[in-house]
């Protein structure tokens, strides 16, 4: 006769044996590991990141001048001033323009270069990238190793109106109208030239990130697409991009955050905001307001607005990724 063992339902209450096992699993090594690698970073993040952010929010409602402990609560007066300040609105529009253009261009070019270097080589045989891919990888990454301030100063000299390399080459080629042409001093060219310099400095770094992501895709998938007759462009759009979607999303957000700041590049190329403030950004105006005008309360309000814009940008990217078939949507389905 078969003996049936009764099944005791799990009520969720901790039995004595479970308690003993739990205490045995919480050894000193595990507790110290959590404290050092989780607790300590969280404490440092709270002290040096979260706390100053909330302090800035508090100061944004005051008339603090930054050099005394005296301050008066002015409510939303600082925020009202911001949206009545044409110069701040101009700076905010410039930052939004950077946040629209830079991520789109950098991600597109970086992904195209990464695809060419990894899987866009010969159309028969083993999947490979272009010949000399290692050389292209090193050369493309080199600009990112140069500090941003050095990049700004270097390109400022290259676009110098009187002794710059660009004007010298164009003049030698017969374009006399570019003799002594101020690329960074002209309203029509100052922002496009600045964008070009920032793109030049970042494209190699994100290309390397995308190369690592593409190399994680099994080569059998590309071989199957090749057998089905898919071309390079079709393969990039239908296979590469969907499979590294999360990497693209992360890169897009990071570039957008950089574009909403871009202080070093702008300060190195046009420290006073460029012609007719065409390249003025919110961080530049913030620093001027705080340290030249001694209006730290108003400057903190600008910083809060930058944080809000950054959050809005990240939310838009996440929403677009999800609505276009991102990982979260597929998982929920």
SS3 label, residue 73:
strand
In contact, 78 and 60? CB cutoff 8 Å: yes
- Report pLDDT for 128: 64
pLDDT tens-place string over residues 115-151: 888 877 666 656 666 777 777 778 888 888 899 999 9
Burial of 61 (C-beta count, 10 Å sphere; 0-12/13-18/19+):
buried
| pLDDT value, residue 11 | 52
Where the chain has pLDDT below 70, the residues are 1-26, 121-129, 326-333
Strand partners, 62: 73
2-33 as b/e, with b when 16 or more CB fall inside 10 Å? Answer: eeeeeeeeeeeeeeeeeeeeeeeeeeeeeeee
* Amino acid 37: pLDDT: 78
Q: What pLDDT, on the 0 to 100 scale, is given for residue 139?
A: 82
Residue 36 DSSP SS3:
helix
Distance CA 333, CA 324 (A): 13
Residue 324: predicted pLDDT: 78
Percent of the chain with pLDDT over 70: 86
| pLDDT for position 30 | 75
At residue 77, the pLDDT reads 95
Question: What is the CATH class of 77-332?
Answer: mainly alpha
pLDDT at 22: 47
Give the pLDDT score at 268: 92
Q: Which of 54, 83, 74, 46 is nearest to 307 (CA)?
A: 54
């Amino acid at each position: 006769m078969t003996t049936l063992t009764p099944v005791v339902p799990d009520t969720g209450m901790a039995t004595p044996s479970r308690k003993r096992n739990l205490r045995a699993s919480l050894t000193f090594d595990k507790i110290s590991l959590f404290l050092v690698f989780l607790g300590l970073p969280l404490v440092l993040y709270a002290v040096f990141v979260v706390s100053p952010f909330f302090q800035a929010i508090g100061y944004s409602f005051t008339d603090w001048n930054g050099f005394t402990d005296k301050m008066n609560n002015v409510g939303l007066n600082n925020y009202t001033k911001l949206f009545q300040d044409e110069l701040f609105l101009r700076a905010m529009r410039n930052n939004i323009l950077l946040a629209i253009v830079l991520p789109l261009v950098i991600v597109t070019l970086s992904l195209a270069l990464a695809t060419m270097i990894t899987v866009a080589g010969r159309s028969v045989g083993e999947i490979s990238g272009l010949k000399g891919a290692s050389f292209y990888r090193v050369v493309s990454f080199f600009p990112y190793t140069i500090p941003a301030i050095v990049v700004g100063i270097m390109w400022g000299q290259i676009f110098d109106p009187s002794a710059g390399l660009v004007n010298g080459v164009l003049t030698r080629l017969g374009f006399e109208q570019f003799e002594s042409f101020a690329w960074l001093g002209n309203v029509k060219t100052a922002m496009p030239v600045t964008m070009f310099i920032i793109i030049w400095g970042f494209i190699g770094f994100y290309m390397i990130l995308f190369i690592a992501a593409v190399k994680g895709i099994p080569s059998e998938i590309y071989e199957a697409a090749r057998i089905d007759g898919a071309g390079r462009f079709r393969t990039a759009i239908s296979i590469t991009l969907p499979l590294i979607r999360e990497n693209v999303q992360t890169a897009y957000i990071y570039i957008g955050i950089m574009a909403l700041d871009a202080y070093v590049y702008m300060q190195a190329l046009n420290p006073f905001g460029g012609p007719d403030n065409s390249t003025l950004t919110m961080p530049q105006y913030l620093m001027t307001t705080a340290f030249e005008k001694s209006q730290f309360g108003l400057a903190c309000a600008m910083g809060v607005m930058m944080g809000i814009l950054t959050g809005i940008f990240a939310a838009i990217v996440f929403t677009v990724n999800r609505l276009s078939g991102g990982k979260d949507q597929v998982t929920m389905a």
